[in-house]
Amino acid sequence: MKGFNSYMDAYMDRRMEALIQEWDLAGRRDLADMEARIRSLEEDTRDIALFEARAGVRLDHLEERLAVLKGARR
């Protein structure tokens, strides 16, 4: 089986890029900046959470103002 193993090794070496693309695998280039991409996503997540908190407070204030205006109309 030694000849078969070396044949398979050579085949895999020649075809690795095609296999990575065909099977949609992550390669070294994809993983090189993974930490930076994760950090960026974490920052975006914090920004979204902050926006949601601020929007919630503003919505509460608008609802209070609406209640006051509705009360004044009666």
pLDDT of 48 reads: 95
pLDDT by residue (tens digit) across 10-30? 887 788 878 777 888 877 777
pLDDT of 45 reads: 95
Q: Decide: 27 and 20 in contact? Cβ < 8 Å.
A: yes
pLDDT by residue (tens digit) across 29-43? 778 888 888 999 999
How many whole angstroms separate alpha carbon 40 and alpha carbon 47? 11
Domain boundaries, the chain: 1-32, 33-74
pLDDT by residue (tens digit) across 49-58? 999 999 999 9
Q: In 38-60, which positions are buried (b, 16+ CB within 10 angstroms) versus exposed (e)?
A: eeeeeeeeeeeeeeeeeeeeeee
